[in-house]
Amino acid sequence: MQKTRISVVFEALQARNSKAFIPYIMAGDPEAGTTLKQVSLLERCGADIIELGVPFSDPLADGPTIQKAAGRALKSGTTLRKVLSMVRDLRLQTDIPLVLMTYYNPVFKYGEEAFVHDSIQAGVDGIIVPDLPPEEAGELIKLSRQGSGGRRLDTIFLIAPTSTPVRIKKIAAASSGFVYYVSITGITGAALEVDEEFKRHLALVKQATDKPVAVGFGIASPDQARIVAQMADGVIVGSALVKVFNETPEKAENFIRGLKEATSK
């Protein structure tokens, strides 16, 4: 079994004592062509891993920015199947690790086995299913670890600020590639306050696992990214980036470069 692209990237970053910059974009927002261009730009500006959101009608973990992005993507006919086809197209142009963030019902409807198989064949490296707790993910984890054609899929689970130490260990054990630490109690795009409690809980998570820990939800500026990167192994920026791409795309490149610089130093 090969190492996943995600693990390769984290090992390389750790070797040079650097942190991962992980941008999130909504696939198909507002249509497939945009996604291909955004991925190119992100890679050119130094993204280490890219999270691709799969639009869903009821995105429970997401705030208004990503809800609206999902609405635009659904309107142009973006489905899980089409996102996998975008990934196949992307693999003609890039080797950057790609993580799908999808709600569970589209996966359930697709069929877990077919989903894992088709994701690996398309070139997906990892999956985040925010509404699927590890307790309910046994089969999906098993299929992802078994993989297909000598390649496997990383399963990335979410740890919340309210997670107890016992639960943190359980979630970390179910995760591969990296562990996703949700920086706030709440939904994507809400304001993050990097306070003592945040630092204390993140330190707890870091202690509980030797897997890389990436932090997301609410990181909107290079200043925040810089502070988070001092403690975490990766910084995930979603809503703020989705907003810039949608509202002021001409400012996207500078914004991305600023985040990358803040993360990697």
Partner 1 sequence: MPALEELEEAYNKAKRDASFQKELRQLQSTYIGRPTPLYFAKRLTEKLGGAKIYLKREDLAHTGAHKINNALGQALLAVRMGKRRLIAETGAGQHGVATATGAALVGLACDIYMGTVDMQRQALNVFRMKLLGATVKEVDIGSRTLKDAINESLRDWTTNVRTTHYVLGTAFGPHPFPMLVRDFQSIIGKEAAAQIRKAEGRLPDYLIACVGGGSNAIGLFNEFLDTDIRMIGVEAGGKGIESGEHAARFADGSIGILQGCKTYLLQDNDGNVLDTHSVSAGLDYASVGPEHSHLKVSGRVEYTFATDDEALAAFETLSRAEGIIPALESAHALAEVIKRAPVLPRDSIIIVNLSGRGDKDVQQVAKIKGINLCA
What's the rounded Cα separation, in Å, for the pair 61 and 170? 21
CB of 123 to partner 1, least distance (A): 20
Q: Does the protein bind partner 1 through residue 63 (CB under 8 A)?
A: yes
CB of 59 to partner 1, least distance (A): 8
Q: Which of 87, 168, 187, 262 binds partner 1 (CB under 8 A)?
A: 187
What's the rounded Cα separation, in Å, for the pair 55 and 72? 9
CB of 233 to partner 1, least distance (A): 24
Considering the complex, state which of residue 10 and residue 217 has its C-beta at the smaller distance from partner 1: 217
* Residue 62: active-site member: yes
What's the rounded Cα separation, in Å, for the pair 28 and 84? 11
Considering the complex, state which of residue 59 and residue 222 has its C-beta at the smaller distance from partner 1: 59
* Residue 139: active-site member: no
Question: With left for phi above 0 and alpha for psi between -120 and 50, is residue 185 left, alpha or beta?
Answer: beta
Residues in region 13-42 near partner 1 by CB under 8 A:
none
Q: Does the protein bind partner 1 through residue 139 (CB under 8 A)?
A: no
Residues 51, 118, 154, 233: which is the catalytic one? 51
The amino acid occupying position 76 is S
CB contact at 8 A, 204 and 168: yes
Number of residues lying near partner 1 (CB under 8 A): 32
Task: From residue 242, give the alpha-carbon distance in Å to each of 26, 44, 46, 138, 216.
Answer: 7, 17, 17, 32, 14
Kindly tell me the burial class for residue 138, based on how many C-beta atoms sit within 10 Å of its own C-beta (0-12, 13-18, 19 or more). Answer: exposed
- Contact map string, positions 85 to 124, toward partner 1, x by CB under 8 A: -------------------xxxxxxx--------------
3: Cβ contacts below 8 Å, ≥ 6 apart? none
Q: Does the protein bind partner 1 through residue 57 (CB under 8 A)?
A: yes
For residue 7, give the nearest of 179, 140, 129 by alpha carbon. 179
CB of 230 to partner 1, least distance (A): 26
* Site for partner 1, rule CB under 8 A: 56-58, 60-61, 63-64, 67-68, 71, 74, 79-81, 104-110, 131, 133, 162-164, 167, 184-187, 190
